Structure 1
Amino acid sequence: MPHTPSPAARPPRTAVVCAAIIALLAGFVAVAAPATAAAAPITKPPMGWNSWNSFAGAIDHTVIEQQADALVSSGMKDAGYEYVNIDDGWWTGARDAGGNMVVDTAKWPGGMAAIAAYIHGKGLKAGIYTDAGRNGCGYYYPTGHPAYPGTGAEGHYDQDFLQFSRWGFDYVKVDWCGGSKEGLDARTAYTAISDAISRATAQTGRPMTFSVCEWGSQQPWNWAPGIANLWRTSGDIIYWGERPQMSRVLANFDAAQHPGAQSPGHYNDPDMLVVGLSGFSDAQNRTHLSLWAISGAPLIAGNKPSDMTAATRAALTNREMIAVDQDPLGRQGTKVAEDATGLQVYQKPLSGTGRRAVVLLNRTGSAATITARWSSLGLSGPAAVRDVWAGADRGSFASAYSTSVPAGEAVLLTVTGTDGSTPPGGGAITGKQSGRCLDVPGGTTANGTQVQLQDCQGSPGQTWTRTASRQLSVYGGTKCLDASGQGTANGTPVVIWDCNGQANQQWSVNANGTITGVQSNLCLDASGQGTANGTKVILWTCNGQANQQWSVPTA
């Protein structure tokens, strides 16, 4: 739903450099913090359907029952779509004298417990919606909503989430309209909600999948993995009354690139699908699904299952695409190459030996050939290629696969080859002067962490890979060596960041032992000619000194 305001009214996004600082100050909780009991024990990205994109606030028991029926009859349930999520508009905002939510029984005969029971009777799971603030989206952004106050849970967290659990709901989505307007701190509010869900689960024995819908404004990828199953990373993919736009799909995909935060049971959420909505072609539907699948993102449909074309049904229920999305490793795909601007290659490790999912994405206005090289995928030797949407094996290829991709579209592949014992070109980068290794402190994966010199230990944080796109990647290609803030001045910190293919992540390894930034033309430098453990690595004007000379693995 349009849980966020229009682009003009939406709160401004914090600058990228601030995100890095916040991540550091937050203690790198993105991957280190254990999930609390509030995070339901799911192991794959949620799949299901949500009411907002097609119905907005115009929902009642008939609408929800019809779509639940269609989820079954269309084959979507058999393909894995299991949640029926009731979004905003289900509640008038009224409470009784005891503060309990009052439900309009004309719209919901038997109350919300009855609709949850109906959904369960279809072999599906039931989801419900609220806001972290005292008032909700309908109060602050009435366009497309029934205009009513009091649609949030703030001040009633324990009461409301216990009620949701008692009604029988298996999934709860918590929006941020009230939280944003009322000046709440997102991490504090959603942690309190997580604790309330934990207490509810302890009383009822019913865990609820917890969806944080905070729009990415306070960098939830840095703290939500410890308290929730999924967290929105951006604004809405569609605003009420608009037609879907590929530019919005791409923007939400880009904003969800936080692979260090994702693990089985905990997922970056680029928002609901617009597959099957009026205005999107079948090719756009497949491109959209390819991007969500390579991301390992939740697949929450927003169309009308009761009224969709055969092509939409086929796309949503494609078992090979779903298998990529639902792969048990739970990894998020990352960009590994961009030979020309807008011609991008993304890869996602899959369970099993030597298996990768690959998306070839053409963001340009003309058809173009895009090449996936096995060296960028961490594969060696010949590899077999399969085109997922065509359902066709393309053959075995020695070192790369190239194909023409139409303008604005994507090709989704699976590639099966041979894993190396280390990534191609993988190994330590050692300083000539110090004899110590280029190291990510503490093995953290937090964006913005400055690299240092450290005794060589062969750890994952010291195993660097030279890619065909001139990146120096670590942690299996999920993070890249990065000139912080795209800096080009002496003293710019050298950090790790999600691989994005930009020039500040491209490096030239030179015959004289130096490593220079493609964007800055400055040298990788052990600060102050330091040789001790913990010496920070920066950019500096190339001067031929030994603290700028490195031993680098062969590409």
Structure 2
Amino acid sequence: MSRRSAAWRRTLTGVTDTFPGRRFLVAVQLLILTVASAGVVLGSTSPASAAAAPAQAAAALALSPVTVPPMGWASWNTFAAQINFNVIKAQVDAMVSSGMRDAGYQYVNIDEGWWQGTRDAAGNITVDTNEWPGGMQAIADYIHSKGLKAGIYTDAGRDGCGYYYPTGRPAAPGSGSEGHYDQDFLQFSRWGFDFVKVDWCGGQAEGLDPRSTYQAISDAIARVTAQTGRPMVLSICNWGVNAPWDWAPSMSTMWRTSGDIIYWGQTPSMDRVLANFDSAQHPSAQSPGRYNDPDMLIAGMPGFSAAQNRTHLGLWAISGAPLLAGNNLATMSAETRAILTNREVLAVDQDELSRQGVKVAEDQSGRQVYSKVLSGTNRRAVLLLNRTTSAASITARWSDLGLAGTGTVRNLWTGTDAGTFDGSYTTTVPAREAVLLLVTASSSAPQPTTSALRGVGSGRCLDVSGGSQANGAQAQIWDCNGQVNQRWTTTAAGELRVYGSKCLDVYNRGTADNTQVVIWDCNGQTNQRWRLNSDGTITAVGANKCLDVPGNATANGTKLVIWSCNGGANQRWTRV
């Protein structure tokens, strides 16, 4: 949970996103930038603890309690900070009676608002027993009694979100866990909690470094786990600051990739659903037990239609994202319950491979095809997403999915078989909605092929400038010579690989004509996906434009770009 205000926007990581807050936090932000520019890292660990961190992180990973994306319910989206024992108990009971538990939802996560920042003389967290009779252990025990797991919330900073951004229940200074990591996580464990979400409001305001701070938190959980024997899921919630997908997989089960999907008091928005979905596209970071988190679900909340709920859940399922419902389970409709418990859709999210679906085609702007490799033989989950404002036909080609031959197609929302198709399947997708399919093909696409690619117009080969293996080295044409910097491997993922680990890449995810083409570490993003067409053209999937020798040039060293496809000789290539 993190609060956002349209009046304040952050640009610390180069990504603009709304943040919560009071006006005085602008001054705090300036202070953070000043401290950072001076090379000071606040809240850093001692050399001894830093040296111990790798072993402790390894211990945390070894004790990870999940191998598929966590599923459950979290309190913030519906109740904000207005929670107590009875509120949570009612949701626990509804999770059981609705059939959600039996469908696989496990965690009941108590978000911000359970604690206002008070501690006893020994520094232990104290809670209002009028609101939480028997303390937090009592609610954890009740959750466990129903065959479910219990989650709790804190902040990485000294002062938590409830202090900086009160929403009806302000917290006192000291409502975060900084300075008490071992103590607080040990207390959570002894209370019986299985999951802890650690927010970033205090961490942001206090200028903490995300990576070292969350490493210290992960290490503390590892020490507590070793002491109590109770594994605990760590959910990092720092809103994508400092690209957690690059470092969080070594220390946590899940990490938020963006700001909140819904801000307190706002109506659910499909624009926000799509933005959060896009923010979580980091497939190379994801593996069993490690997940990009685009935030809690808003499916079933007031203001969202059944079609929007299905689209929302389908996007999270194709991503293999954590599924934490945020609606009121006690009052949801039968229609919402059916959507949230659709076993075939949930199976896509929970597939044991834990792959993240990736965009494999966008033949026309806004008409997108996403594919997720599933366990089993030649099986793909396929999401056809229409971002436009009009209904549109979208085609899934087997070649884009790494498949071949005939394929059976099943619509997972209607639970019906569409039939068997040869090479592709086309259907109409309503505006701003998605169709979720299961495609099972008779065979896989041919194994990766390695060869040179010679330009039809130039007679010269696709080449990496100077034989460089550095990220950003430019693609060019050069006399064909058989060297390794001209040997390109086409993969089932649609990559053109060179040197084994570098991919042909549209620089900075550009989509405009004349955008440079370079090599970069393979990362699964759409600017590294290419489609080799029967007419010899090579389409950049993310930009939907063709690999092009500008100006029909033929000279050695001519740098390559993408350009609107026109079928010219300078856009056609042959294998040699």
**TM exceeds 0.5?**
yes
Task: Give the one of 446, 469, 489 matched to 1:463.
Answer: 489
Q: Is the 8 A contact 1:4 1:10 kept in 2?
A: no
Task: Give the one of 459, 468, 481 matched to 2:504.
Answer: 481
Distance apart, 1:463 and its partner CA: 3.2
Distance apart, 1:356 and its partner CA: 0.2
Q: Is the 8 A contact 1:427 1:553 kept in 2?
A: no
Aligned residues: 511
How high is the TM-score relative to the length of structure 1? 0.82
The residue type paired with residue 96 of structure 1 is D
Task: Give the one of 133, 152, 173 matched to 1:128.
Answer: 152
The residue type paired with residue 463 of structure 1 is T
Aligned partners of 1:520 and 1:457: how far apart in 2? 17
Aligned to 2:5: 6
The residue type paired with residue 143 of structure 2 is I
Aligned partners of 2:469 and 2:136: how far apart in 1? 47
Distance apart, 1:146 and its partner CA: 2.7
Task: Give the one of 252, 259, 262 matched to 1:235.
Answer: 259
Aligned to 1:72: 96
1:201 aligns with 2:225: yes
Alignment of 1:101-116 (within 5 A): 101-116=125-140
1:37 aligns with 2:37: no
Q: Is the 8 A contact 2:531 2:538 kept in 1?
A: no
Task: Give the one of 65, 72, 94 matched to 1:48.
Answer: 72
Distance apart, 1:305 and its partner CA: 0.9
Alignment partner of 1:358: what SS? strand
The residue type paired with residue 5 of structure 1 is R
Alignment partner of 1:155: what SS? coil
Q: Is the 8 A contact 1:450 1:496 kept in 2?
A: no
Alignment of 1:75-90 (within 5 A): 75-90=99-114
The residue type paired with residue 489 of structure 2 is T
Aligned to 1:19: none
Aligned to 1:427: 449
Alignment partner of 2:59: what SS? coil
The residue type paired with residue 484 of structure 1 is Y
1:322 aligns with 2:321: no
Task: Give the one of 351, 375, 379 matched to 2:399.
Answer: 375
1:494 aligns with 2:519: yes
Q: CA-to-partner distance for each residue in 1:381-403, whole Å, 9 max, x for gaps? A: 00000000010000000011111
Please list every run of 5 or more consecutive structure 1 residues that lacks an aligned counterpart in the other structure.
17-31, 531-536, 543-547
Aligned to 1:184: 208
Aligned to 1:250: 274
The residue type paired with residue 495 of structure 1 is W
Distance apart, 1:265 and its partner CA: 0.4
Alpha carbons of 1:171 and 1:282: their partners in 2 closer, same or farther (altered >3 Å)?
A: same
Q: Is the 8 A contact 2:72 2:323 kept in 1?
A: yes
Q: Is the 8 A contact 2:538 2:546 kept in 1?
A: no
The residue type paired with residue 507 of structure 2 is S
Alpha carbons of 1:435 and 1:490: their partners in 2 closer, same or farther (altered >3 Å)?
A: closer
Task: Give the one of 253, 270, 273 matched to 2:297.
Answer: 273
1:401 aligns with 2:415: no
Q: Is the 8 A contact 2:507 2:515 kept in 1?
A: no
Alpha carbons of 1:450 and 1:166: their partners in 2 closer, same or farther (altered >3 Å)?
A: farther
Q: Is the 8 A contact 2:157 2:200 kept in 1?
A: yes
Alpha carbons of 1:33 and 1:168: their partners in 2 closer, same or farther (altered >3 Å)?
A: closer
Aligned partners of 1:121 and 1:438: how far apart in 2? 61
Aligned partners of 2:288 and 2:337: how far apart in 1? 27
Aligned to 2:312: 288
Q: Is the 8 A contact 1:87 1:128 kept in 2?
A: yes
Alpha carbons of 1:214 and 1:422: their partners in 2 closer, same or farther (altered >3 Å)?
A: farther
Q: CA-to-partner distance for each residue in 1:78-129, whole Å, 9 max, x for gaps? A: 0000000000000110111211111111111111111111100000000000
Aligned partners of 1:44 and 1:390: how far apart in 2? 25
The residue type paired with residue 405 of structure 2 is G
Distance apart, 1:182 and its partner CA: 0.6
Distance apart, 1:521 and its partner CA: 4.0
Q: Is the 8 A contact 2:505 2:517 kept in 1?
A: no
Distance apart, 1:456 and its partner CA: 5.8
Q: CA-to-partner distance for each residue in 1:422-447, whole Å, 9 max, x for gaps? A: 45xx32243779999979x9999xxx
Aligned partners of 1:491 and 1:370: how far apart in 2? 28
The residue type paired with residue 37 of structure 1 is A
Aligned partners of 1:529 and 1:34: how far apart in 2? 53
Q: Is the 8 A contact 2:384 2:435 kept in 1?
A: yes
Q: Is the 8 A contact 1:429 1:550 kept in 2?
A: no
Alpha carbons of 1:63 and 1:511: their partners in 2 closer, same or farther (altered >3 Å)?
A: closer
Alignment partner of 2:234: what SS? strand
Alignment partner of 1:9: what SS? strand
Aligned partners of 2:321 and 2:506: how far apart in 1? 28
1:350 aligns with 2:389: no
Alignment partner of 1:323: what SS? helix
Distance apart, 1:494 and its partner CA: 3.0
Aligned to 2:479: none
Alpha carbons of 1:166 and 1:529: their partners in 2 closer, same or farther (altered >3 Å)?
A: farther
Aligned to 2:182: 158
Q: Is the 8 A contact 1:346 1:360 kept in 2?
A: yes
Distance apart, 1:55 and its partner CA: 0.5
Aligned partners of 2:163 and 2:434: how far apart in 1? 39
Aligned partners of 2:468 and 2:150: how far apart in 1? 41
The residue type paired with residue 290 of structure 1 is G
Q: Is the 8 A contact 1:493 1:538 kept in 2?
A: no
Q: Is the 8 A contact 1:431 1:550 kept in 2?
A: no
Alpha carbons of 1:81 and 1:480: their partners in 2 closer, same or farther (altered >3 Å)?
A: farther
Alpha carbons of 1:379 and 1:95: their partners in 2 closer, same or farther (altered >3 Å)?
A: same
Aligned partners of 2:445 and 2:55: how far apart in 1? 29
Aligned to 1:359: 383
The residue type paired with residue 141 of structure 1 is Y
Aligned to 1:210: 234
Deviates more, 1:362-371 or 1:32-41: 32-41
Aligned partners of 1:85 and 1:331: how far apart in 2? 25
Q: CA-to-partner distance for each residue in 1:141-185, whole Å, 9 max, x for gaps? A: 123553432221111111111111111100000001111111001
Aligned partners of 2:195 and 2:468: how far apart in 1? 35
The residue type paired with residue 273 of structure 1 is L
Q: Identity of counterpart residues, as a percentage? A: 57
Alignment partner of 1:428: what SS? strand
Q: CA-to-partner distance for each residue in 1:217-237, whole Å, 9 max, x for gaps? A: 210000000000000000000
Task: Give the one of 158, 164, 174 matched to 1:140.
Answer: 164
Q: Is the 8 A contact 1:488 1:519 kept in 2?
A: no
Q: Is the 8 A contact 1:130 1:175 kept in 2?
A: yes
Aligned partners of 1:465 and 1:111: how far apart in 2? 55
Q: Is the 8 A contact 1:56 1:145 kept in 2?
A: no
Distance apart, 1:15 and its partner CA: 3.2
Alignment partner of 1:93: what SS? coil
Alpha carbons of 1:264 and 1:7: their partners in 2 closer, same or farther (altered >3 Å)?
A: farther
Aligned to 1:23: none
Alignment partner of 1:37: what SS? helix
Please list every run of 5 or more consecutive structure 2 residues that lacks an aligned counterpart in the other structure.
16-53, 477-481, 564-569
Aligned partners of 1:488 and 1:282: how far apart in 2? 39
Distance apart, 1:492 and its partner CA: 6.2
Aligned partners of 2:461 and 2:93: how far apart in 1? 66
Aligned partners of 1:473 and 1:33: how far apart in 2? 37
The residue type paired with residue 169 of structure 1 is F
Distance apart, 1:421 and its partner CA: 6.4
Aligned partners of 2:556 and 2:410: how far apart in 1? 50
Distance apart, 1:68 and its partner CA: 0.6
